Structure 1
């Protein structure tokens, strides 16, 4: 197997020069750098990454903890991480946890065992305090807001306020909302926005555990069964909105005449359905999270808020005055 001494002999340079070229050291004459690279190609040298990790203490690998890789929200963040990792010559390992706490602990142990240099937590079930107990082994960045920790986040309170306010300006006062996991940080913020702006005392029009198109269909069935129905619903995602809209249209209901609907994500589905939605640049969240977890100085947490914007489509309309 070719080693760096073979490369030095072939390129007619010192072993130190070869090492500097392999580690992208800036102070190498261009002629010598070119000679070493030609020797690498000629001899088919393959670098021993384990030895590199032992010598540098770094793996150039970032871990990503997320509950589902096929959920559009999580997948879009992952795309942003992948783009930045590629540009910076990093690798990343993805762990799908399905919100199982023991699976999340497996990811944390990988950080403790130095399998990765740092972790990006897209979403989690474990208590933040337990996750942060592993911060001694490497940087941890969250893709949701937590106090006193590094995070790249959407302010879900203000984002939901944008949608709810838009519905109120269209004349809607009987407004429902869809939430994901009831106990998650994001859901609590969204529910607080609802209680502050719309309905402080009732949860009759709060539809929980909604994440997928199928869940949107279930919301439609629930809406149809209610004697007192909301005239507008703000959903937790574009996929939930799509399931709700499609199910009601199959029953002969008109959107937005019979029910105004606002999504959340700004996904491709929003464009296909001409959906009014809260658009989120999820790829940017991934890119910024990567920049935080790989920064050289981690002596204090940094928090970056990513803006959300109301994107108008044709699924929310002015409430008829007769309502």
Structure 2
């Protein structure tokens, strides 16, 4: 395979001139530039991109680790990341892990060997202790609250957000409140559970295990939730649902099975996805696209401003009142 030394010899120029031409630098005489490109085309020369990355110390590729792309929560974060990546001329490499630790480690290993410049982690199974072993390689940004860690993070206070929803339902006269969560073992879900229990204890209300629904991720899960509620002897009067998609499923399947929102069941959901507006669902807006933008910006600033200390940023949430309570 041809290399730049052979190109320089055939074109009758120096190696440094060939390098300047190939990398688009100005101040090269036109006849020399033409001579170089003539030889490049003659030899069908292609740059060794790995060598270019090694010489520059950067790939202009940012990794994004997420369990699945097919979920509004993560797709909205990705939307923000992608917008900033396009703005600054970066490429994205997605690692869809389905919470498989081995796949998460593959992404971290690519970071370690500098095949990507940084890694944004939307959600993970791997321990923080393991993640911290990789922070000396390139920047990692987590989309969760890890203030005591030495890793960059941009996050939503899910305890505060869940408490906002609980307080709203309580002020509306509800004490028989259940919840719908996604992955019950995640850090965010643990914070939501804590807020749920604290809010009910504050009003001396009972906590019912059969009002707690887990693995609620998609609209289709609404059918399961509605069917279960209708089968209960004692039913909740309100649900706090961590996904607008799931809340929409509850509203729509509720109509089919005769469980009407809000007369039979009040609902407060999360995200402020367009479907919540279409179905008039009261929701707590989570600035997920902004989270993605901020996460990318942290990595960009790391290289631009040479950050040496971790940065953690909390994003605000707000409740949007509609007709489901």
CA contact (8 A) 1:139 1:298 kept: no
Give secondary structure in 2 for the equivalent of 1:144.
coil
Partner in structure 1 of residue 218 of structure 2:
212
Give secondary structure in 1 for the equivalent of 2:195.
helix
Return the offset for 1:49. 2.6
Q: How does 1:1-323 map to 2 (within 5 A)?
A: 48-146=48-146, 147-148=148-149, 149-199=151-201, 202-204=207-209, 205-294=211-300, 295-296=302-303, 297-316=306-325
CA contact (8 A) 1:263 1:275 kept: yes
Q: Cα 1:231–1:2, aligned 2, differ >3 Å: closer, same or farther?
A: same
2-structure distance, mates of 1:6, 1:89: 31
- State the Cα RMSD in Å: 3.0
Over residues 104-152 of structure 1, what are the superposed CA-to-partner deviations in whole Å (9 max), with x where a residue is unaligned?
1111111122211111110001111112212222111101111222111
Over residues 211-253 of structure 1, what are the superposed CA-to-partner deviations in whole Å (9 max), with x where a residue is unaligned?
1112222111221121111111010100111111111110122
CA contact (8 A) 2:200 2:207 kept: no
Return the offset for 1:59. 0.9
Aligned length: 310
TM-score relative to the length of structure 2: 0.84
List structure 1 segments (4+ residues) > 4 angstroms apart after TM superposition: 1-8, 13-25, 43-48
TM-score relative to the length of structure 1: 0.85
What 5-or-longer segments of structure 2 have no aligned partner?
none
Return the offset for 1:265. 0.7
Give secondary structure in 1 for the equivalent of 2:92.
strand
2-structure distance, mates of 1:263, 1:173: 17
Return the offset for 1:22. 7.0
Over residues 62-102 of structure 1, what are the superposed CA-to-partner deviations in whole Å (9 max), with x where a residue is unaligned?
11110001111111111111111111111110011001111
Return the offset for 1:24. 8.2
Give secondary structure in 2 for the equivalent of 1:301.
coil
Greater shift, 162-171 or 203-212, is seen at 203-212
CA contact (8 A) 1:7 1:36 kept: no
Greater shift, 68-77 or 199-208, is seen at 199-208
Q: Cα 1:285–1:17, aligned 2, differ >3 Å: closer, same or farther?
A: farther
